[in-house]
Amino acid sequence: MRGQCEIIQDLLPLYVDGMVKKETAVFIDRHLRWCAKCGKVRTELIRNKNWEPACAKAPEDRPHVPSEEEEKFILYIRRWKRRMGLAFIGIISLGFAVMRLLE
């Protein structure tokens, strides 16, 4: 059952956080009933003073502030899009003008 213990110990942080599905929690509970080693790991996770649930570490709702290099790239792309749009309009206008002349 060594392989099973490794799997359970990989899942224990999520289990302690309450972030596993119900079926997974039942599976882990069953394993913890008879496996003292995994039970000890679970107890240590809970007792660890630095332990924070994963959901408590959610990123703050701050917008991304682009760096100077990112700003330059964004400006370059905006200018390129504007030029391509103007070129497209010019080509279409030229096409209509040629069609009018050929009529």
| Highest mean pLDDT of the ranges 7-11, 37-41, 88-92 | 88-92
- Assigned token pair, 22: 């119900």
Average pLDDT over residues 11-36: 90
If you count them, how many residues does the chain have?
103
Q: Is there a contact between 45 and 13 (Cβ–Cβ < 8 Å)?
A: yes
Helix (H) or strand (E) holding 73: helix 68-102
Per-residue pLDDT at 103 = 81
- The string of pLDDT tens digits covering residues 26-37 is 999 999 999 999
53: confidence class by pLDDT, cuts 50, 70, 90 = low
pTM exceeds cut of 0.85 = no
Per-residue pLDDT at 2 = 67
**Domain limits of the chain?**
1-57, 65-103
Q: Cα separation of 99 and 28, whole Å?
A: 75
Q: Can you tell me which residue has the tokens 């279409």?
A: 92
Per-residue pLDDT at 79 = 95
